[in-house]
Amino acid sequence: MSTLNYTESPLAPEKAAYRHKIPAGDFWIHKITAGQSVRIVDLEGNQAVDTIFYNAGDFAEYYSAQATIRGQRCIYLTTGTKIISSEGNVMLEITADTCGRHDTLGGACACESNTVRYGHDTKYMHACRQNFLMGLASWPGAACHLNKRDIPANINFFMNVPVTPEGGLMFEDGVSAGGKYVELKAAMDVVCLISNCPQLNNPCNGWNPTPVEVLVWD
């Protein structure tokens, strides 16, 4: 295991302006205004938190996994990582991280991709992109109709998906644990869409999806 980068946050949970527990397998969509900080807490450990950010005023500007890793020349996300949009703008910056590494290449599970990965008997199981679609369909602030077109490559907070020097993509045991968190400060008004991964086929979470908590500070 290479170096992990740990940085604690000075923000106190009791001073948060907003707190919400996302149940296992559920979605959450919420606006974070410029200057606010959002923390995601992995309450029980190794829970994949699949996350997309949109420009709150223009959903056609969205989180870009490729622009983000290219911008920092590193495939992992951690403290100091600037979250870059499809337009090349900084959306947020990771300001604290007690997990040390997060994935953005592995993407989100979907009913259809589950048929490829695990077999067609998994097609009707709940999946992250079902959550994303529900989140997009329920968001009242969008100026246009949102659908699968608006689901780009996402972040998987608390997941460890190393790329080997030979170009292999591995799924390692989680580097996270109960109580670990990641915190981001918004550089623009964004809408944060989370699917708290319901995946029951992947050993990363021990086949046991668990709740996570989100906190927002002004």
Interface ranges with other proteins (CB under 8 A): 2-3, 59-61, 64-67, 69-70, 73-76, 86, 88, 101, 105-108, 110, 112-122, 129, 147-154, 161-165, 167-171, 201
Smallest distance from the beta carbon of 193 to other proteins, in angstroms? 15
Amino acid at site 203: P
Smallest distance from the beta carbon of 43 to other proteins, in angstroms? 25
Smallest distance from the beta carbon of 56 to other proteins, in angstroms? 16
Nearer to other proteins, 20 or 149 (CB): 149
Kindly state the helix (H) or strand (E) to which residue 41 belongs, with its residue range. Answer: strand 37-42
Nearer to other proteins, 19 or 117 (CB): 117
Nearer to other proteins, 65 or 193 (CB): 65
Q: Which residue in 34, 69, 39 sits closest to 51, CA to CA?
A: 39
CA 55-60-61 angle, 5° bins = 45
Q: Which residue in 43, 84, 45 sits closest to 65, CA to CA?
A: 84
Nearer to other proteins, 59 or 158 (CB): 59
In this structure, are strands 37-42 and 212-217 parallel, antiparallel, or unpaired?
antiparallel
Q: Which residue in 190, 194, 218 sits closest to 89, CA to CA?
A: 190
Nearer to other proteins, 7 or 11 (CB): 7
Smallest distance from the beta carbon of 132 to other proteins, in angstroms? 11
Smallest distance from the beta carbon of 15 to other proteins, in angstroms? 33
Report how far residue 173's alpha carbon sits from residue 148's, in angstroms, rounded to the nearest whole number: 30
CB atoms within 10 A of CB 144: 9
